[in-house]
Structure 1
Amino acid sequence: MKTRKTLVLSASHLSVRTSRFLSRTKAVDWPVPGGQYSDMGFFFHVVDENGVGPDFVPRDLFDVLEYARIGGFTYVLIEVGAGVCPELTFYARRDIGSELEANHLYKRSTQQELDAKKGQEAFEALSASAEFSTSDRDFSSRINAAVVGLLERVSSKMDNSMSLLQEDVQHLADLAASSTVIPNRAEEDYPESRSALQLAQQRVSELTDALELSDEGEEARVYEALGEANYRLDLALAEMRGGGIALSGS
Protein backbone atom coordinates (compact mmCIF):
# COMPACT_ATOMS: atom_id res chain seq x y z
CA MET A 1 0.00 0.00 0.00
CA LYS A 2 1.36 3.39 -0.99
CA THR A 3 1.31 6.07 1.71
CA ARG A 4 0.61 9.67 0.70
CA LYS A 5 1.41 12.55 3.01
CA THR A 6 -0.69 15.64 3.68
CA LEU A 7 0.77 18.98 4.71
CA VAL A 8 -1.47 20.98 7.06
CA LEU A 9 -0.91 24.75 7.06
CA SER A 10 -2.54 27.88 8.39
CA ALA A 11 -5.08 29.67 6.20
CA SER A 12 -2.96 32.76 6.79
CA HIS A 13 -0.60 31.55 4.07
CA LEU A 14 -3.21 32.53 1.46
CA SER A 15 -4.05 36.14 0.62
CA VAL A 16 -7.54 37.56 1.08
CA ARG A 17 -7.93 37.72 -2.69
CA THR A 18 -7.02 34.06 -3.22
CA SER A 19 -9.20 32.87 -0.34
CA ARG A 20 -12.15 34.81 -1.69
CA PHE A 21 -11.64 33.42 -5.20
CA LEU A 22 -11.48 29.83 -3.95
CA SER A 23 -14.53 30.26 -1.71
CA ARG A 24 -16.68 31.82 -4.41
CA THR A 25 -15.66 29.55 -7.28
CA LYS A 26 -16.81 25.99 -7.85
CA ALA A 27 -13.97 23.57 -7.18
CA VAL A 28 -14.29 22.13 -10.69
CA ASP A 29 -13.29 25.60 -11.98
CA TRP A 30 -10.25 25.96 -9.74
CA PRO A 31 -6.86 26.08 -11.52
CA VAL A 32 -5.63 23.23 -9.27
CA PRO A 33 -7.39 20.01 -8.14
CA GLY A 34 -9.01 20.45 -4.75
CA GLY A 35 -12.12 21.40 -2.88
CA GLN A 36 -13.71 23.29 -0.01
CA TYR A 37 -12.97 22.06 3.51
CA SER A 38 -16.32 22.99 5.08
CA ASP A 39 -16.03 26.65 6.14
CA MET A 40 -12.60 26.04 7.65
CA GLY A 41 -10.37 26.18 4.60
CA PHE A 42 -9.33 24.29 1.47
CA PHE A 43 -7.85 20.96 0.36
CA PHE A 44 -5.50 20.63 -2.64
CA HIS A 45 -3.68 18.01 -4.66
CA VAL A 46 -0.10 19.15 -5.14
CA VAL A 47 0.91 20.09 -8.71
CA ASP A 48 4.44 20.46 -10.05
CA GLU A 49 3.93 23.29 -12.53
CA ASN A 50 1.76 26.34 -12.97
CA GLY A 51 -0.64 26.89 -15.83
CA VAL A 52 -1.70 29.88 -17.89
CA GLY A 53 -4.99 31.70 -18.36
CA PRO A 54 -7.82 29.94 -16.46
CA ASP A 55 -5.28 27.37 -15.24
CA PHE A 56 -2.99 29.95 -13.67
CA VAL A 57 -2.54 29.29 -9.95
CA PRO A 58 -2.21 32.47 -7.84
CA ARG A 59 1.35 33.05 -6.72
CA ASP A 60 0.66 32.68 -3.00
CA LEU A 61 -1.13 29.36 -3.50
CA PHE A 62 1.50 28.05 -5.90
CA ASP A 63 4.20 28.88 -3.36
CA VAL A 64 2.39 26.65 -0.85
CA LEU A 65 1.99 23.82 -3.37
CA GLU A 66 5.61 24.06 -4.47
CA TYR A 67 6.79 23.98 -0.87
CA ALA A 68 4.67 20.87 -0.27
CA ARG A 69 5.97 19.16 -3.42
CA ILE A 70 9.60 19.75 -2.45
CA GLY A 71 8.82 18.31 0.97
CA GLY A 72 7.40 15.13 -0.53
CA PHE A 73 3.73 15.83 0.24
CA THR A 74 0.89 14.79 -2.07
CA TYR A 75 -1.86 16.90 -0.53
CA VAL A 76 -2.19 20.22 1.27
CA LEU A 77 -4.87 21.08 3.79
CA ILE A 78 -5.26 24.78 4.49
CA GLU A 79 -7.33 25.44 7.61
CA VAL A 80 -8.02 27.94 10.33
CA GLY A 81 -5.98 27.27 13.44
CA ALA A 82 -3.27 25.19 11.77
CA GLY A 83 0.43 25.91 12.21
CA VAL A 84 2.34 28.66 10.44
CA CYS A 85 5.39 27.81 8.34
CA PRO A 86 8.21 30.39 8.72
CA GLU A 87 9.45 29.61 5.21
CA LEU A 88 6.20 30.77 3.57
CA THR A 89 4.65 34.23 3.29
CA PHE A 90 2.26 35.05 6.11
CA TYR A 91 -0.77 37.26 5.35
CA ALA A 92 -1.87 38.90 8.59
CA ARG A 93 -5.66 39.12 9.01
CA ARG A 94 -7.71 40.07 12.04
CA ASP A 95 -10.33 37.32 12.02
CA ILE A 96 -9.60 34.78 9.31
CA GLY A 97 -12.19 32.33 10.65
CA SER A 98 -15.06 34.78 10.22
CA GLU A 99 -13.71 35.84 6.85
CA LEU A 100 -13.63 32.29 5.47
CA GLU A 101 -17.05 31.54 6.91
CA ALA A 102 -18.45 34.66 5.24
CA ASN A 103 -16.97 33.59 1.91
CA HIS A 104 -18.41 30.10 2.34
CA LEU A 105 -21.88 31.44 3.16
CA TYR A 106 -21.70 33.65 0.08
CA LYS A 107 -22.17 30.59 -2.14
CA ARG A 108 -23.92 28.16 0.22
CA SER A 109 -27.22 26.81 -1.08
CA THR A 110 -30.39 27.08 0.97
CA GLN A 111 -31.82 23.97 2.64
CA GLN A 112 -34.68 24.00 0.14
CA GLU A 113 -32.24 24.11 -2.79
CA LEU A 114 -30.21 21.24 -1.33
CA ASP A 115 -33.34 19.15 -0.77
CA ALA A 116 -34.49 19.82 -4.33
CA LYS A 117 -31.08 18.80 -5.67
CA LYS A 118 -31.13 15.60 -3.62
CA GLY A 119 -34.58 14.79 -4.96
CA GLN A 120 -33.57 15.44 -8.55
CA GLU A 121 -30.45 13.29 -8.24
CA ALA A 122 -32.48 10.43 -6.75
CA PHE A 123 -35.15 10.79 -9.43
CA GLU A 124 -32.59 10.68 -12.25
CA ALA A 125 -30.89 7.62 -10.76
CA LEU A 126 -34.16 5.73 -10.40
CA SER A 127 -35.46 6.76 -13.82
CA ALA A 128 -32.40 5.19 -15.46
CA SER A 129 -34.23 1.88 -15.12
CA ALA A 130 -36.27 0.91 -18.17
CA GLU A 131 -39.12 -0.28 -15.93
CA PHE A 132 -39.36 3.01 -14.07
CA SER A 133 -42.63 4.92 -14.26
CA THR A 134 -43.88 8.10 -12.61
CA SER A 135 -47.42 6.79 -12.18
CA ASP A 136 -49.01 6.71 -8.74
CA ARG A 137 -49.32 2.93 -8.88
CA ASP A 138 -45.66 2.42 -9.78
CA PHE A 139 -44.36 4.76 -7.09
CA SER A 140 -46.56 3.33 -4.39
CA SER A 141 -45.64 -0.25 -5.32
CA ARG A 142 -41.94 0.61 -5.27
CA ILE A 143 -42.22 2.23 -1.85
CA ASN A 144 -44.22 -0.71 -0.47
CA ALA A 145 -41.73 -3.19 -1.92
CA ALA A 146 -38.85 -1.27 -0.37
CA VAL A 147 -40.55 -1.39 3.04
CA VAL A 148 -41.23 -5.14 2.74
CA GLY A 149 -37.63 -5.77 1.72
CA LEU A 150 -36.40 -3.68 4.62
CA LEU A 151 -38.47 -5.61 7.15
CA GLU A 152 -37.38 -8.93 5.67
CA ARG A 153 -33.75 -7.85 5.92
CA VAL A 154 -34.16 -7.00 9.59
CA SER A 155 -35.72 -10.37 10.37
CA SER A 156 -33.21 -12.39 8.30
CA LYS A 157 -30.40 -12.14 10.89
CA MET A 158 -27.80 -12.55 8.12
CA ASP A 159 -24.15 -12.03 9.05
CA ASN A 160 -23.76 -9.33 6.41
CA SER A 161 -27.21 -7.84 6.94
CA MET A 162 -25.98 -4.49 8.30
CA SER A 163 -24.36 -3.30 5.08
CA LEU A 164 -27.30 -4.60 3.05
CA LEU A 165 -29.74 -3.08 5.50
CA GLN A 166 -28.08 0.29 4.98
CA GLU A 167 -28.57 -0.06 1.21
CA ASP A 168 -32.25 -0.93 1.71
CA VAL A 169 -32.82 2.10 3.93
CA GLN A 170 -31.01 4.41 1.50
CA HIS A 171 -33.10 3.07 -1.38
CA LEU A 172 -36.25 3.93 0.53
CA ALA A 173 -34.86 7.41 1.23
CA ASP A 174 -34.17 7.85 -2.51
CA LEU A 175 -37.74 6.86 -3.37
CA ALA A 176 -39.08 9.39 -0.88
CA ALA A 177 -36.74 12.11 -2.16
CA SER A 178 -37.59 11.43 -5.81
CA SER A 179 -41.32 11.61 -5.11
CA THR A 180 -40.92 15.33 -4.39
CA VAL A 181 -39.76 16.14 -7.92
CA ILE A 182 -42.08 14.08 -10.10
CA PRO A 183 -42.76 16.31 -13.13
CA ASN A 184 -46.24 17.84 -13.16
CA ARG A 185 -47.34 15.91 -10.09
CA ALA A 186 -50.62 16.90 -8.51
CA GLU A 187 -51.50 15.79 -4.98
CA GLU A 188 -54.85 14.35 -6.00
CA ASP A 189 -53.13 12.15 -8.60
CA TYR A 190 -51.01 10.32 -6.01
CA PRO A 191 -53.28 8.99 -3.22
CA GLU A 192 -51.66 5.53 -3.23
CA SER A 193 -48.16 7.00 -3.00
CA ARG A 194 -49.17 9.18 -0.08
CA SER A 195 -50.54 6.16 1.79
CA ALA A 196 -47.38 4.21 1.01
CA LEU A 197 -45.19 7.04 2.27
CA GLN A 198 -47.20 7.28 5.51
CA LEU A 199 -46.82 3.54 6.10
CA ALA A 200 -43.10 3.71 5.27
CA GLN A 201 -42.62 6.55 7.75
CA GLN A 202 -44.35 4.55 10.45
CA ARG A 203 -42.21 1.47 9.79
CA VAL A 204 -38.96 3.48 9.74
CA SER A 205 -39.86 5.12 13.06
CA GLU A 206 -40.66 1.71 14.55
CA LEU A 207 -37.37 0.26 13.29
CA THR A 208 -35.38 3.18 14.64
CA ASP A 209 -36.88 2.62 18.08
CA ALA A 210 -36.67 -1.18 17.96
CA LEU A 211 -33.15 -1.69 16.64
CA GLU A 212 -30.48 -1.43 19.29
CA LEU A 213 -27.67 0.04 17.21
CA SER A 214 -24.29 1.13 18.46
CA ASP A 215 -22.71 4.47 17.59
CA GLU A 216 -19.77 2.84 15.80
CA GLY A 217 -19.09 1.05 12.52
CA GLU A 218 -21.82 -0.32 10.25
CA GLU A 219 -24.51 -0.05 12.92
CA ALA A 220 -23.88 3.68 13.23
CA ARG A 221 -24.20 4.07 9.45
CA VAL A 222 -27.51 2.19 9.48
CA TYR A 223 -28.77 4.49 12.25
CA GLU A 224 -27.72 7.55 10.24
CA ALA A 225 -29.42 6.12 7.13
CA LEU A 226 -32.63 5.61 9.10
CA GLY A 227 -32.49 9.24 10.17
CA GLU A 228 -32.02 10.34 6.57
CA ALA A 229 -34.91 8.15 5.40
CA ASN A 230 -37.18 9.56 8.09
CA TYR A 231 -36.24 13.11 7.03
CA ARG A 232 -36.94 12.38 3.35
CA LEU A 233 -40.25 10.72 4.18
CA ASP A 234 -41.29 13.72 6.29
CA LEU A 235 -40.39 16.03 3.44
CA ALA A 236 -42.22 13.92 0.86
CA LEU A 237 -45.40 13.90 2.94
CA ALA A 238 -45.15 17.65 3.42
CA GLU A 239 -44.85 17.99 -0.36
CA MET A 240 -47.97 15.88 -0.80
CA ARG A 241 -49.73 18.43 1.37
CA GLY A 242 -48.54 21.22 -0.89
CA GLY A 243 -45.42 22.66 0.74
CA GLY A 244 -41.79 23.34 -0.06
CA ILE A 245 -39.82 22.06 -3.02
CA ALA A 246 -40.54 23.30 -6.52
CA LEU A 247 -41.38 20.40 -8.81
CA SER A 248 -39.35 19.91 -11.95
CA GLY A 249 -41.36 20.69 -15.02
CA SER A 250 -43.87 22.83 -13.11
Structure 2
Amino acid sequence: MFPRVLMISTGHLSARTARFLRNHDAADWPCLGGHFGDVGFMLWVDEGASGMEPNLPRDISEVFEYASSQAASIVIFQDVSPIVLELPTYGDEDAFEADEFLDRPRKTVAKLEDEEGLVALETLAADGNAGPGDDLIEKMYEIMNVLAEYGRNKTLCSFPYTELQRLTDLASAVRLGVRRDSDKFRAHRRRIGSLLQSIDLIYTNADFGSHGPEARTREVFENVMYRLEAAKAVLKAMEY
Protein backbone atom coordinates (compact mmCIF):
# COMPACT_ATOMS: atom_id res chain seq x y z
CA MET A 1 0.00 0.00 0.00
CA PHE A 2 1.42 3.34 -1.05
CA PRO A 3 1.58 6.15 1.53
CA ARG A 4 -0.89 8.96 1.07
CA VAL A 5 0.66 12.33 0.21
CA LEU A 6 -0.77 15.68 1.25
CA MET A 7 0.26 18.65 -0.94
CA ILE A 8 -0.16 22.02 0.77
CA SER A 9 1.12 25.56 0.43
CA THR A 10 4.33 26.77 2.08
CA GLY A 11 2.11 29.56 3.38
CA HIS A 12 1.27 27.20 6.24
CA LEU A 13 4.87 27.51 7.49
CA SER A 14 5.91 30.50 9.57
CA ALA A 15 8.85 32.53 8.28
CA ARG A 16 10.94 31.27 11.18
CA THR A 17 10.27 27.59 10.42
CA ALA A 18 10.66 28.01 6.65
CA ARG A 19 13.96 29.80 7.19
CA PHE A 20 15.24 26.95 9.38
CA LEU A 21 14.21 24.27 6.87
CA ARG A 22 15.65 26.27 4.00
CA ASN A 23 18.99 26.99 5.67
CA HIS A 24 19.72 23.58 7.19
CA ASP A 25 20.53 20.18 5.85
CA ALA A 26 17.67 17.71 6.32
CA ALA A 27 19.84 15.73 8.75
CA ASP A 28 19.46 18.66 11.15
CA TRP A 29 15.67 18.90 10.89
CA PRO A 30 13.51 18.03 13.93
CA CYS A 31 11.66 15.39 11.88
CA LEU A 32 12.23 13.10 8.92
CA GLY A 33 12.11 14.83 5.57
CA GLY A 34 14.10 16.70 2.99
CA HIS A 35 14.15 19.49 0.44
CA PHE A 36 11.63 18.83 -2.32
CA GLY A 37 13.82 19.72 -5.27
CA ASP A 38 14.08 23.50 -5.39
CA VAL A 39 10.41 24.23 -4.80
CA GLY A 40 9.64 23.26 -1.22
CA PHE A 41 9.90 20.73 1.59
CA MET A 42 8.80 17.13 2.09
CA LEU A 43 8.13 15.85 5.62
CA TRP A 44 7.23 12.41 6.92
CA VAL A 45 4.25 12.64 9.25
CA ASP A 46 5.55 11.29 12.56
CA GLU A 47 3.78 12.29 15.76
CA GLY A 48 6.63 10.78 17.76
CA ALA A 49 9.06 13.29 16.26
CA SER A 50 7.95 15.89 18.79
CA GLY A 51 10.07 14.12 21.39
CA MET A 52 13.29 14.90 19.51
CA GLU A 53 15.50 17.93 20.04
CA PRO A 54 14.86 20.59 19.00
CA ASN A 55 11.12 20.12 19.36
CA LEU A 56 8.76 20.45 16.44
CA PRO A 57 7.63 24.01 15.76
CA ARG A 58 3.95 24.61 16.34
CA ASP A 59 3.15 25.17 12.66
CA ILE A 60 4.61 21.79 11.65
CA SER A 61 2.88 19.95 14.50
CA GLU A 62 -0.46 21.50 13.46
CA VAL A 63 0.08 20.33 9.89
CA PHE A 64 1.00 16.85 11.17
CA GLU A 65 -2.23 16.69 13.16
CA TYR A 66 -4.25 17.69 10.12
CA ALA A 67 -2.35 15.25 7.90
CA SER A 68 -3.04 12.44 10.38
CA SER A 69 -6.74 13.26 10.30
CA GLN A 70 -6.56 12.86 6.51
CA ALA A 71 -4.65 9.55 6.81
CA ALA A 72 -1.65 11.13 5.06
CA SER A 73 1.87 9.86 5.75
CA ILE A 74 3.81 12.49 3.79
CA VAL A 75 3.35 16.25 3.57
CA ILE A 76 4.85 18.25 0.71
CA PHE A 77 4.98 22.03 1.06
CA GLN A 78 5.06 23.96 -2.23
CA ASP A 79 4.29 27.56 -3.12
CA VAL A 80 2.00 26.33 -5.90
CA SER A 81 0.05 23.91 -3.70
CA PRO A 82 -3.35 24.84 -2.28
CA ILE A 83 -4.12 26.56 1.00
CA VAL A 84 -5.96 24.40 3.55
CA LEU A 85 -8.71 26.40 5.20
CA GLU A 86 -8.48 24.39 8.42
CA LEU A 87 -4.87 25.47 8.98
CA PRO A 88 -3.41 28.90 9.81
CA THR A 89 -1.42 30.72 7.12
CA TYR A 90 1.70 32.80 7.65
CA GLY A 91 2.34 34.42 4.28
CA ASP A 92 4.35 33.53 1.20
CA GLU A 93 7.91 32.20 1.43
CA ASP A 94 10.61 32.63 -1.19
CA ALA A 95 11.71 29.58 -3.13
CA PHE A 96 15.17 28.22 -2.37
CA GLU A 97 17.84 26.42 -4.36
CA ALA A 98 18.35 22.89 -3.07
CA ASP A 99 21.86 22.69 -4.58
CA GLU A 100 23.11 25.12 -1.96
CA PHE A 101 22.54 22.53 0.75
CA LEU A 102 24.17 19.48 -0.80
CA ASP A 103 27.33 18.00 0.70
CA ARG A 104 27.16 20.08 3.87
CA PRO A 105 28.47 18.48 7.09
CA ARG A 106 25.91 17.73 9.75
CA LYS A 107 25.89 20.27 12.56
CA THR A 108 26.25 19.24 16.17
CA VAL A 109 23.31 19.51 18.56
CA ALA A 110 25.21 22.20 20.48
CA LYS A 111 25.70 24.21 17.28
CA LEU A 112 22.02 23.95 16.38
CA GLU A 113 20.98 25.00 19.87
CA ASP A 114 23.37 27.96 19.78
CA GLU A 115 21.79 29.05 16.51
CA GLU A 116 18.33 28.64 18.04
CA GLY A 117 19.49 30.78 20.96
CA LEU A 118 20.55 33.54 18.58
CA VAL A 119 17.20 33.39 16.79
CA ALA A 120 15.48 33.54 20.19
CA LEU A 121 17.50 36.62 21.16
CA GLU A 122 16.59 38.31 17.88
CA THR A 123 12.92 37.53 18.43
CA LEU A 124 13.03 38.77 22.03
CA ALA A 125 14.85 41.94 20.99
CA ALA A 126 12.24 42.65 18.32
CA ASP A 127 9.55 42.33 20.99
CA GLY A 128 11.48 44.43 23.50
CA ASN A 129 12.13 41.44 25.77
CA ALA A 130 15.88 41.01 25.40
CA GLY A 131 18.27 42.14 28.11
CA PRO A 132 21.11 41.04 30.39
CA GLY A 133 21.08 37.64 32.07
CA ASP A 134 19.27 38.71 35.22
CA ASP A 135 16.61 40.44 33.11
CA LEU A 136 16.02 37.29 31.04
CA ILE A 137 15.61 35.22 34.19
CA GLU A 138 13.31 37.80 35.76
CA LYS A 139 11.07 37.72 32.68
CA MET A 140 10.93 33.93 32.94
CA TYR A 141 9.81 34.27 36.56
CA GLU A 142 7.07 36.69 35.51
CA ILE A 143 5.68 34.19 33.02
CA MET A 144 6.08 31.29 35.45
CA ASN A 145 4.11 33.08 38.17
CA VAL A 146 1.14 33.43 35.83
CA LEU A 147 1.63 29.92 34.45
CA ALA A 148 1.58 28.48 37.96
CA GLU A 149 -1.85 30.02 38.52
CA TYR A 150 -3.12 28.38 35.33
CA GLY A 151 -1.65 25.12 36.60
CA ARG A 152 -3.46 25.37 39.92
CA ASN A 153 -6.71 26.02 38.07
CA LYS A 154 -6.12 23.08 35.69
CA THR A 155 -6.32 25.43 32.70
CA LEU A 156 -2.79 25.20 31.33
CA CYS A 157 -3.97 24.62 27.78
CA SER A 158 -5.74 27.98 27.77
CA PHE A 159 -2.49 29.80 28.57
CA PRO A 160 -1.58 32.00 25.55
CA TYR A 161 0.73 30.10 23.23
CA THR A 162 2.61 33.31 22.41
CA GLU A 163 3.65 33.48 26.06
CA LEU A 164 4.72 29.84 25.99
CA GLN A 165 6.83 30.60 22.92
CA ARG A 166 8.34 33.58 24.73
CA LEU A 167 9.17 31.32 27.67
CA THR A 168 10.91 28.93 25.26
CA ASP A 169 12.86 31.79 23.68
CA LEU A 170 13.91 33.08 27.10
CA ALA A 171 15.12 29.61 28.10
CA SER A 172 17.06 29.32 24.82
CA ALA A 173 18.61 32.74 25.40
CA VAL A 174 19.60 31.84 28.97
CA ARG A 175 21.18 28.59 27.82
CA LEU A 176 23.12 30.42 25.10
CA GLY A 177 24.24 33.07 27.59
CA VAL A 178 25.52 30.43 30.00
CA ARG A 179 27.48 28.70 27.24
CA ARG A 180 29.00 31.95 26.00
CA ASP A 181 29.69 33.70 29.29
CA SER A 182 29.15 31.31 32.18
CA ASP A 183 30.91 33.62 34.65
CA LYS A 184 28.23 36.25 34.15
CA PHE A 185 25.49 33.72 34.93
CA ARG A 186 27.23 31.96 37.81
CA ALA A 187 25.44 34.08 40.40
CA HIS A 188 22.09 33.02 38.93
CA ARG A 189 22.54 29.26 39.27
CA ARG A 190 20.15 29.00 42.21
CA ARG A 191 17.50 31.07 40.44
CA ILE A 192 17.79 28.91 37.34
CA GLY A 193 17.48 25.82 39.53
CA SER A 194 14.42 27.29 41.22
CA LEU A 195 12.84 28.02 37.83
CA LEU A 196 13.50 24.46 36.79
CA GLN A 197 11.87 23.10 39.94
CA SER A 198 8.82 25.32 39.46
CA ILE A 199 8.18 24.29 35.88
CA ASP A 200 8.88 20.63 36.70
CA LEU A 201 6.28 20.79 39.49
CA ILE A 202 3.65 22.21 37.13
CA TYR A 203 4.60 19.66 34.46
CA THR A 204 4.42 16.73 36.88
CA ASN A 205 1.00 17.70 38.22
CA ALA A 206 -0.50 18.37 34.79
CA ASP A 207 -2.47 15.77 32.86
CA PHE A 208 -1.46 16.43 29.27
CA GLY A 209 -3.15 14.74 26.36
CA SER A 210 -1.24 13.34 23.40
CA HIS A 211 -2.77 15.57 20.72
CA GLY A 212 -3.71 19.16 20.04
CA PRO A 213 -3.06 22.07 22.42
CA GLU A 214 -2.28 19.76 25.33
CA ALA A 215 0.50 18.03 23.40
CA ARG A 216 1.94 21.35 22.24
CA THR A 217 1.90 22.71 25.79
CA ARG A 218 3.66 19.59 27.05
CA GLU A 219 6.33 19.96 24.36
CA VAL A 220 6.99 23.55 25.41
CA PHE A 221 7.45 22.46 29.02
CA GLU A 222 9.87 19.73 27.99
CA ASN A 223 11.76 22.11 25.74
CA VAL A 224 12.15 24.73 28.47
CA MET A 225 13.22 22.14 31.06
CA TYR A 226 15.75 20.68 28.64
CA ARG A 227 17.40 24.06 28.08
CA LEU A 228 17.38 25.04 31.75
CA GLU A 229 18.86 21.66 32.68
CA ALA A 230 21.65 22.26 30.16
CA ALA A 231 22.34 25.72 31.58
CA LYS A 232 22.29 24.42 35.15
CA ALA A 233 24.70 21.59 34.29
CA VAL A 234 27.25 24.04 32.87
CA LEU A 235 27.06 26.26 35.95
CA LYS A 236 27.24 23.30 38.31
CA ALA A 237 30.37 22.02 36.57
CA MET A 238 32.07 25.34 37.32
CA GLU A 239 31.95 24.55 41.04
CA TYR A 240 34.49 21.77 40.68
For the aligned pair, the TM-score class normalised by the smaller chain equals: 0.5 to 0.7
Tell me which amino acid in the other structure corresponds to 1:147.
Answer: M
Where structure 1 has 5 or more consecutive residues not aligned to the other structure, the ranges are 8-21, 48-73, 76-102, 244-250
Aligned with residue 78 of structure 2, among 32, 37, 45: 45
Deviation at 1:117, TM superposition (A): 1.4
Tell me which amino acid in the other structure corresponds to 2:111.
Answer: E
Q: 2:163 and 2:110 mapped to 1: Cα distance?
A: 25
In structure 2, the CA distance between the partners of 1:241 and 1:164, relative to structure 1 (3 Å rule), is: same
Of all paired residues, the percent bearing the same amino acid is: 21
Q: 2:41 and 2:142 mapped to 1: Cα distance?
A: 38
Query: Is the counterpart of residue 139 in structure 1 residue 136 in structure 2?
Result: yes
TM-score in terms of structure 2 length: 0.54
- Per the alignment, residue 88 of structure 1 pairs with none
Paired positions, count:
165
Deviation at 1:177, TM superposition (A): 0.8
Q: 1:44 and 1:139 mapped to 2: Cα distance?
A: 35
- Per the alignment, residue 40 of structure 2 pairs with 34
Aligned with residue 181 of structure 1, among 158, 176, 179: 176
- Per the alignment, residue 185 of structure 2 pairs with 190
Structure 1 runs (4+) greater than 6 angstroms displaced: none
Tell me which amino acid in the other structure corresponds to 1:181.
Answer: L
Q: 1:42 and 1:200 mapped to 2: Cα distance?
A: 37
Aligned with residue 114 of structure 2, among 106, 113, 116: 116
TM-score in terms of structure 1 length: 0.52
Superposition pairs of residues 215-226 of structure 1, within 5 angstroms: 215-226=210-221
Q: 1:131 and 1:170 mapped to 2: Cα distance?
A: 12
Q: 2:116 and 2:178 mapped to 1: Cα distance?
A: 15
Where structure 2 has 5 or more consecutive residues not aligned to the other structure, the ranges are 1-5, 9-24, 28-34, 45-72, 83-100
| Structure 2 SS opposite 1:222 | helix
Superposition pairs of residues 153-232 of structure 1, within 5 angstroms: 153-156=150-153, 161-164=156-159, 166-182=161-177, 186-232=181-227
Q: 1:240 and 1:105 mapped to 2: Cα distance?
A: 36
Deviation at 1:150, TM superposition (A): 1.4
| Structure 1 SS opposite 2:221 | helix
Larger Rg: 1
Deviation at 1:41, TM superposition (A): 9.2
In structure 2, the CA distance between the partners of 1:104 and 1:231, relative to structure 1 (3 Å rule), is: farther
Q: 1:228 and 1:191 mapped to 2: Cα distance?
A: 22
In structure 2, the CA distance between the partners of 1:124 and 1:229, relative to structure 1 (3 Å rule), is: same
| Structure 1 SS opposite 2:41 | strand
